[in-house]
Structure 1
Amino acid sequence: MSVFTPGQRWISDGEAELGLGTILNCDQRSVTVLFAASQETRTYSVRQAPLTRVAFGSGDRIAAAEGWHLIVDDIEEVDGLLVYRGETDTGEPAELPEARIADGMQFNQARDRLLTGQIDRNDWFDLRFRTLHHHHRTEQNPALGLAGPKIDLIPHQLYIADEVSRRHAPRVLLADEVGLGKTIEAGLVLHRLLLSGRAERALILVPDNLTHQWLVELLRRFALEVTLLDEQQSQAHGEANPFESGQLILASQQWLFANPHRQAQATACDWDLLIVDEAHHLDWTPSASGPGYACVERLAGRIPGLLLVTATPEQMGLESHFARLRLLDPDRYHDLSRFRLEEAGYVQVAAAIDALDRLPDDNEATDIVAAEIDDADSQALLATLSDPESADTQRDKARRQLREHLLDRHGTGRVMFRNSRRHVGGFPERHLHATRLELPSAYRRLLHTFLHGDDALDELLVDTGLDYPDVLLYLEATYRALGDDPRHAEPWWQIDPRVTWLLELLTGAGRDKLLVITHDRDTAVDLAEALRVLGGVFAPVFHEGMSLVERDRAAAAFADEEYGSQLMVCSEIGSEGRNFQFCRHLVMFDLPQHPDQLEQRIGRLDRIGQHHAIEIHVPVFAASPMEQLLRWYRQGMDAFSAPHGVGSSLYDAFGDALADAFLDAESLDEIIVETRALFETRLAERDAGRNRLLELNACRPDRAEAVIAAIRELDDDPALKRYLDQALDIFGVDSQDLDEGLMHLRAGPHMLDGLPGLAKGEEGFTATSSRQRALVRDDVQHLSWEHPLVREMMGRILDGAMGNTALALLNHPSIPAGRLMVELVFRTYCPAPRRLHVNRFLPPTAIRVLLDESGANLSSRVSFTGLAKNLRKVKKAVARDLIKSRHDQLRELLTQGEGEAERELPTIIEVAQQRMRAELDDELTRLKALARHNPAVRDDEVQALQDERAALDAAIDGTRLRLDAVRVIVTVDDSTKR
């Protein structure tokens, strides 16, 4: 039974979080303790008080109530109370009675907790050591931040994400063609920047119809929870700035661009990254900016990182493309006429890159390459490549390096990434099925009216309120708009043969799904009704007049394989943003007038992940304007066979003439011939010039394969399952193995609170460590070292006191009973801002020291695993008594162990410095060389890398050790088993 005296300091064994307690009074039966820091009072039975006396020893550092600290030299006991004597941090002699020790003094450090009798479970200690080991290993993996997301390992996406996310405050245009995964690339960059600490806050602006899709994508693929902000949510915050309500804010462009007050609030916040989707919708000319462009320009001027996402960077011509680049770097892209000249010069650079493959046997190729290089390094590489005496391996290496130099130093490749389907490869074929239908008499009368002359056409435009040439192309809309005419009393769908044709097509499709896209929202709604009435087909509708929730329900009803609808009808909005690659039949109930819109429609199905040929069905009326438009698409530019990326310039050149020729077949023949000629010219220019450079620069296969290999190393890591089994058990998570490598996780009755995705009383979630299995099902999460649950458990262990003390018994025939050993785990501590991501060079590193009671170092002779499997647990009360009886001996061993660990620290620091300097010095040299040739390399980018290197050098050099965990081991024989 302990002896209690008022004024003594004790801690609660079961409630260590109460802090340091003071004995208020004590009688023969009970003792009352005040825990002033937590303002709690406890009364315990004297005989069974779960309390441990706090008694410091020589060398300990104690916090005084007045805020100063004492380093203990000597201890004296006066009337049952301890008085500590020693020096303050400034070296002055001082005295500190235990009653004046700070109430809020915490005992989280392993040394303090051990000596005050706070002992954790052995399996907690084991998990802590393994967590340190796995954290150290995974933090240095070059794929960190790219391995966790639930994505296919597609080379061009991973190359772009790796290249962009390595940069200081990246500012780039992600401009891959439709279906190549720009949203995934942006998500990967964001995920890695967040995980590495290079970014903490991001603002994501997307078109209104895509907000929910982005929300779901970021959650399902990247496990990123974002705050979706709209006006209703903003008003709920009252006078507070709603953009401060989360770290990741997702908002509608239409909402923000139309609201100057909310724009000012967004601009007033501190952000690290701005992401803008569908950036080609931002209007700009040299003389004026649209409201959306002006808003993004203000934000981009204050936010260091910027990702612009668009599949059609030149949809509105070179001027529009320049406007996007101007947002990324206004200093570099400030003169449109100069930019035009630069663009024209990229043909020679692309020719030089192609000429490399003809060396050393082609003198003309040597001249072509020599004309594009002017630095000594490149000239030396060209000399090696041109020398017939060079070995094949030397020439191959020189060719590869020279290609890298040319790609790096020319063009907009550092700020713009554009992959094409032709360059990426692996996409399905497209099959066009055009069906000619007879014009119904009502539509024929309308077209006959148009032929009567301009007056009749002008009158029809006024009567219908439609634009030209819509009034010609979308005859059901014209018919519907003339509903007051008795001749149009019937609904258009009762006289339109395309409806019957569609029902027949659906019948012949078997179980295949069909996506139907129409130009007009009212046509989509009417068509769905027609299918219900005439064919008993219930088809969900998707159009811009629906709420986000309604659109999502419609898309989900179509996507469900077992119970979903076979057909969905979309207005033109269905061709932007939504992905329907599970479907292979696209029905164009009509045709859009712009080639880019046509490609966007096809791109909803023709995407990465599509495993079938795309069947494109187009019904057209014989000798109608729509059939003429179909002819222009097919004969003028092969628009249905593959995306070519030149449709916008063709439409700019011939769009007006095409509209005038819809009723004149001879004029259309001439336009088709001229379109074809320009189409072939544009393709040749694309292949020779800037687009050729962009394709070569947008994916470097060697780099991409290295990233994929690093990801697969983490994917296939057998240690993950073993670690999860132990961690989930300790954290109280129930795990049930299912078929096909799946597991269901849910909160157990004793689960620790606050674990991501798990709450007591809720269903939990299903997960798998198999990437492929996770990709098959939306409802299955991908478990990896980067999964939020895994990182949360590891973070709690590494940042808290869990498992940093333990005591165990060891039965060994060659060691007498009663002997003491201590297993000390020291950990490197490198204080540095998160943005430096110092962990890639020096993550927390464990140094294990095993000492016997004589001070002999047994670390190299007895492994952690070999020792751990022979240890037995001991009751906490017995453990505390053992610690109390060996205080002085333990203090000596702790001090000696620190000296043993310190001897290993210089080597760890030196290795980290070498790793950091090798990587950053090479990158700095490359960046400075690039800056001399390519003005797209910003001065602040070079300076930031120099500053980062200097800061990392100082941080790594300042690395220190601290005791992270300690386990006391006492030897026993069979007769002393407990």
Structure 2
Amino acid sequence: MSATSAALSYIPGQRWISDAEIDLGLGTVLQNDRRSITLLFPSKGETRVYSTSTAPLTRVIFSEGDTLTHQDGWTLKVEDSKEVDGLLVYLGETEEGDFVEMPETQLDPKIRFQGPRERLLTGQIDRNNEYTLRALSRQAQTRLAADPLKGLRGPRVGLVPHQLYIAHEVGKRLAPRVLLADEVGLGKTIEAGMILHQQLITGRAQRALILVPASLCHQWLVELLRRFGLPVTLLNQEGFAANEEAFSQSQLVLASLDLLVEDDAAFTQALEENWDLLIVDEAHHLGWSPTQASPEYLRIQQLAERIPGLLLLTATPEQSGESGFFAQLQLLDPARYPSLEAFQQEEEGYRSCAQAIARLENREPLDAEERQALQERLNKDSLALLELLENPEISEDQEQTARQQLIDQLLDRYGTGRVLFRNRRASIPGFPERHLHTPGLDCPAEYLDLLESYSQPHRQMMLGALLETPWPFVTLYPERLYTLGAQEAGRWWEFDPRVDWLIDKLEDLADEKVLLICAHAETALELSEGLRQRAGILAAVFHEDMDLFDRDRAAAWFAEEEEGAPLLICSEIGSEGRNFQFAHHLVLFDLPRHPDLLEQRIGRLDRIGQTHSLELYAPYLEATPQADWLAFCDQGLDQFSAPRPVGASIFTDFKEDLLGLLEGQVAADELLPRIQEARTAAEIELEAGRHRLLELASHRPEVSQELVTELEAADEDKQLREFLEMALDVYRIRNEDLDADTWFLKPGKESDTAIFNDVHFDMEEGNSATFSRDKAMARDDLHFLTWEHPLTRNSLEAATSTVKGNTCVALLKNPALPAGTLLVEIFFCLDLADQQNPLATRYLPPQSLRLLLDGEGNNLAPKVGFKGLSKQLVKMKKGLARDVIKLRQEQLRGLLDRSEDLAAAELPSMIEKGQELMRAQLDPEITRLQALAEANPAVRNEEIESLQKLRDNLDQLLSQASLKMDAVRVVIAAGKEEH
């Protein structure tokens, strides 16, 4: 297709377009005389009259190979054309193969010019920065598609080696099915989020169902949104009742397991949906025995049978015993784990393998029994390494290399390491010490009288119902009793000695940041008001009734070093999912009623990367249930010195005694020694059940260190900043530098806000964003800008999915070139038949071809780079640009034809390169899994077959690929400037 106005010969019936009003579409000349031309634009039903001397019109002429649409809807592929009485007649074949003629008067007036060739030759010129953004986006997409760490760069998480190792190892699999069993505090939720993020970013998964205990729904919601930018749909009983299509309408659904157990309709709908990944937290609560399975287990079993990917999370896989541990593995792969008896026999073999690895690590010789056990399992390659180690003439370097290779092979090929990952706090550095301070305070008479007044069981039941806390746990929160029953509701802070103690402590700590957590949002709000009125202390407040923006503001105010709040008061659930490790003083204004909640509180500060010892303060009222409960948590569970994985099971086993303790019916000095003894025994049993082989396979430091090093370098990615600066300019988003790493972004009325889809962003006030991982970790209110941030992904998509930016005319300021020198820059893209297949873009990175033709058709691209040329270009006014196109039309047509010939010659090598790139990723993994499958039945045949099928499909897809012109820039040299 081409366009011209050189002859300025207007004949009724000819088709022209208006350069000034492109949206009018194809116009038809109605009449003309020496002074004016009248055009009808049928698609808009409008008429325009133009002066013959200044008409901004371009004649539309289609060329061989173009596809035309007739006004009746059928299409024609142009093979030739002729002129009859000044009107064009196109000749060619229809889709049915009939050879017909189509006069230009019968062209569909709604024809849109989408391709760069058509748009350029009809004078549809885009801005130079739009063209540049398109080109940068294509280059970035090519680079990112082949990134081996794709999916790991975007999450707002610390670069914790064991977490990165697990996420990298599991996230790159097709339909992963694993049990994440790291000890408490090691970040299983983060690992699951990283795996989910990686699966979504790489296209391995599209939809996920996340099932967690009801008490953890909010924590998961915040973690997924804040850390991973994943907007999930939180679905509860009320939400499902209001919208029974909720499961089918959401890409990512987060719900409590109780919903699916208690509501058959909800479970049925969830079961019928096509999910790619199922995530289940607290999997040890899925009860199973050889004779009976719990309703929760049966529901998950049905879902797991239909959903390809499955992540089970538990900090205590051994807590439910060996049978429960087996049941979790059977959910992952019932064919691999058909019976408990076979599993128990296999475990014995793993232990002997683990003992051999331990000896190898300690450079100790294997005894005869261990050597025999290995010989029965090892293949030829591994046996050769074993023999080499026993050769007395081996050098030290050879021994070290052989020893490590043998250990690696044993870890890779044996045990449950493919399906189960477990790291221990003892082997992970970076956790702080904990120091407990327990100031005992006299209980005020107001509280003592209240506690005495609730001696009758019926009043206790009523109170528990009103406060949604069962008796006697409600006695741990006397301020709630007072607020409910006293005349001056909410003013308990006037006499509560904990408030006096807190005011004094805040004065002692001066400029230190203090985090305070209490059980209820009402307590947090009232305490904040009391501190303001009594001592003029302004505290940030953070609770579950606040929306996410308000929580962000509160957390950001607390995080500010200079002008920030010294104290942040959190409710129980309001503290979940947040990282406050820049503080190291934690006030437990009360104690929660479950050991897991207490560990969750301490876990807000007791995190990997905490640089100070933790100072824990637990003020309590003496001679009240608070004193007894503190004794249980401290002396009984010893929970303040370190996490206690057995705490939940001890709580369950002694629940009746603990209720008696709070009600004064069981003596602490009689109960606590029994609890201590039970805890010690449970921890000894837990330690004895350690799976050494599993722990070794759960983290490979040499692999994780490479991941950390590469991800650390991302903070200095100049290409990302260059791209985003250009994108913000094109989409007219205000961008202000706050410091070297931080921007303030604010859309205006003229902004293209579509790039903020799925971005948690304040469109009216604006938001700040940073390239620094450390700043993003410290401040939840800052967006963490990476190539995987939704804003970046949306900008890449917007720059390449529309016609904007696919044409440009620019002026070249280079005195070495004569004025009027013509260059044409053309980008081609490898076009796949199934371009929307996400796995195709993962393993077939979108390749692009750049040509730079001079006026003679010579390709200068190898000598003149894109960035180097772009730096010398300045914009050209649209009117002048259109004149250039009209004057050089025939030459441009020839050069564009020439570019397509050159591109066609490059196609075979690009297809070959695509096959090499694809096979370089898939073939080694297929070969590795085939070797593993011979020794380790944990490798599923389905996984190997899926990869082989994927490789074959991608080969076929590539063989059908073609090259499509994506963008054209015409460059005119300005010549030497006169001074």
Q: What TM-score bracket applies, with the shorter chain setting the length?
A: 0.7 to 0.9
In the alignment, the residues of structure 1 paired with residue 308 and residue 498 of structure 2 have an alpha-carbon distance, to the nearest angstrom, of 53
Which amino acid in 2 is paired with 1:914? E
| 2:383 paired with 1:379 | yes
Q: Choose which of 118, 131, 140 in structure 2 pairs with 1:134.
A: 140
**Conserved in 2, the CA contact under 8 Å of 1:464 and 1:478?**
no
Q: CA deviation at 1:428?
A: 0.3
Which amino acid in 1 is paired with 2:251? Q
**Conserved in 2, the CA contact under 8 Å of 1:31 and 1:45?**
yes
Partner of 2:273: 269
Partner of 1:704: 704
Greater displacement, 248-257 / 918-927: 248-257
Provide the aligned C-alpha RMSD in A: 4.8
In the alignment, the residues of structure 1 paired with residue 283 and residue 576 of structure 2 have an alpha-carbon distance, to the nearest angstrom, of 13
In the alignment, the residues of structure 2 paired with residue 729 and residue 119 of structure 1 have an alpha-carbon distance, to the nearest angstrom, of 18
Greater displacement, 324-333 / 919-928: 324-333
**Conserved in 1, the CA contact under 8 Å of 2:819 and 2:976?**
no
**Conserved in 1, the CA contact under 8 Å of 2:543 and 2:551?**
no
Q: 1:826 to 1:503 in 2, by over 3 A?
A: closer
Deviations 1:360-408 (A, max 9, x none): 7555696277267332333233233333434444443433333333333
Which amino acid in 2 is paired with 1:720? L
Deviations 1:444-482 (A, max 9, x none): 9999x9xxxxxxxxx987985699xx9899876899999
In the alignment, the residues of structure 2 paired with residue 141 and residue 480 of structure 1 have an alpha-carbon distance, to the nearest angstrom, of 55
In the alignment, the residues of structure 2 paired with residue 948 and residue 325 of structure 1 have an alpha-carbon distance, to the nearest angstrom, of 27
Deviations 1:49-100 (A, max 9, x none): 4332210223434344555544434321112210112445676543222233
In the alignment, the residues of structure 1 paired with residue 539 and residue 721 of structure 2 have an alpha-carbon distance, to the nearest angstrom, of 44
Q: CA deviation at 1:922?
A: 1.6
| 2:918 paired with 1:916 | yes
**TM-score normalized with structure 2 length:** 0.83
Partner of 2:89: 83
In the alignment, the residues of structure 1 paired with residue 231 and residue 715 of structure 2 have an alpha-carbon distance, to the nearest angstrom, of 23
Which amino acid in 2 is paired with 1:919? Q
**Conserved in 1, the CA contact under 8 Å of 2:521 and 2:570?**
no
Deviations 1:709-750 (A, max 9, x none): 332343322222233333322322222222343222223554
Q: 1:678 to 1:558 in 2, by over 3 A?
A: farther
Partner of 1:488: none
Q: Choose which of 354, 360, 374 in structure 2 pairs with 1:356.
A: 360
In the alignment, the residues of structure 1 paired with residue 850 and residue 570 of structure 2 have an alpha-carbon distance, to the nearest angstrom, of 65
Partner of 1:884: 886
| 2:200 paired with 1:194 | yes
Partner of 1:57: 63
| 2:433 paired with 1:424 | no
Deviations 1:582-612 (A, max 9, x none): 5534456777787655544433431235332
Which amino acid in 1 is paired with 2:685? R
Q: How do 1:750-765 residues align onto structure 2 when only pairs under 5 Å count?
A: 750-756=750-756, 762-765=764-767
Q: 1:270 to 1:109 in 2, by over 3 A?
A: same
Q: Choose which of 210, 213, 219 in structure 1 pairs with 2:225.
A: 219
Q: CA deviation at 1:426?
A: 0.5
Which amino acid in 1 is paired with 2:50? S
In the alignment, the residues of structure 1 paired with residue 73 and residue 510 of structure 2 have an alpha-carbon distance, to the nearest angstrom, of 80
**Conserved in 1, the CA contact under 8 Å of 2:151 and 2:197?**
yes
Which amino acid in 2 is paired with 1:882? V
Greater displacement, 429-438 / 940-949: 429-438
SS in structure 1 opposite 2:112? coil
Q: 1:901 to 1:383 in 2, by over 3 A?
A: farther
Partner of 2:611: 611
Deviations 1:290-340 (A, max 9, x none): 555454444433332233334344444445444444443344445345445
SS in structure 1 opposite 2:123? coil
Partner of 1:682: 685
Which amino acid in 1 is paired with 2:734? D
Unaligned segments of structure 2, at least 5 residues: 465-469, 486-490
In the alignment, the residues of structure 2 paired with residue 807 and residue 523 of structure 1 have an alpha-carbon distance, to the nearest angstrom, of 65
Q: CA deviation at 1:162?
A: 1.6
Greater displacement, 501-510 / 412-421: 501-510
In the alignment, the residues of structure 2 paired with residue 256 and residue 833 of structure 1 have an alpha-carbon distance, to the nearest angstrom, of 37
Partner of 1:454: none
**Conserved in 2, the CA contact under 8 Å of 1:179 and 1:604?**
no
Q: 1:117 to 1:404 in 2, by over 3 A?
A: same
Which amino acid in 1 is paired with 2:378? D
Partner of 2:488: none
Partner of 1:602: 602
Q: CA deviation at 1:434?
A: 4.9
Q: CA deviation at 1:629?
A: 7.9
Q: CA deviation at 1:349?
A: 3.1
Partner of 1:958: 960
**Conserved in 1, the CA contact under 8 Å of 2:776 and 2:783?**
yes
Q: CA deviation at 1:356?
A: 1.6
SS in structure 2 opposite 1:893? helix
Q: What number of residue pairs does the alignment pair up?
A: 956
Deviations 1:245-269 (A, max 9, x none): 3433344555555433333333333
SS in structure 1 opposite 2:754? coil
In the alignment, the residues of structure 1 paired with residue 843 and residue 502 of structure 2 have an alpha-carbon distance, to the nearest angstrom, of 61
Q: Choose which of 161, 173, 178 in structure 2 pairs with 1:172.
A: 178
In the alignment, the residues of structure 2 paired with residue 821 and residue 765 of structure 1 have an alpha-carbon distance, to the nearest angstrom, of 42
Q: CA deviation at 1:211?
A: 4.0
Which amino acid in 2 is paired with 1:272? D
Q: 1:704 to 1:7 in 2, by over 3 A?
A: farther
Which amino acid in 2 is paired with 1:335? S
Identity of aligned residues (%): 46
Q: How do 1:632-647 residues align onto structure 2 when only pairs under 5 Å count?
A: 639-643=639-643, 645-647=645-647
Partner of 1:456: none
In the alignment, the residues of structure 1 paired with residue 170 and residue 713 of structure 2 have an alpha-carbon distance, to the nearest angstrom, of 22
In the alignment, the residues of structure 2 paired with residue 220 and residue 14 of structure 1 have an alpha-carbon distance, to the nearest angstrom, of 46
Q: 1:34 to 1:624 in 2, by over 3 A?
A: same
Q: Choose which of 162, 168, 171 in structure 2 pairs with 1:156.
A: 162
**TM-score normalized with structure 1 length:** 0.83
**Conserved in 2, the CA contact under 8 Å of 1:784 and 1:790?**
yes
Greater displacement, 508-517 / 926-935: 508-517
**Conserved in 1, the CA contact under 8 Å of 2:430 and 2:609?**
no
Partner of 2:717: 717
Partner of 1:243: 247
Q: 1:761 to 1:789 in 2, by over 3 A?
A: closer
In the alignment, the residues of structure 1 paired with residue 874 and residue 525 of structure 2 have an alpha-carbon distance, to the nearest angstrom, of 72
Q: How do 1:896-915 residues align onto structure 2 when only pairs under 5 Å count?
A: 896-915=898-917
In the alignment, the residues of structure 1 paired with residue 127 and residue 846 of structure 2 have an alpha-carbon distance, to the nearest angstrom, of 23
Which amino acid in 2 is paired with 1:709? T
In the alignment, the residues of structure 2 paired with residue 565 and residue 657 of structure 1 have an alpha-carbon distance, to the nearest angstrom, of 40
**Conserved in 2, the CA contact under 8 Å of 1:436 and 1:621?**
yes
Q: Choose which of 128, 136, 143 in structure 2 pairs with 1:122.
A: 128
Partner of 1:847: 849
**Conserved in 1, the CA contact under 8 Å of 2:579 and 2:778?**
no
Partner of 1:777: 779
Q: CA deviation at 1:429?
A: 0.5
Greater displacement, 57-66 / 754-763: 754-763
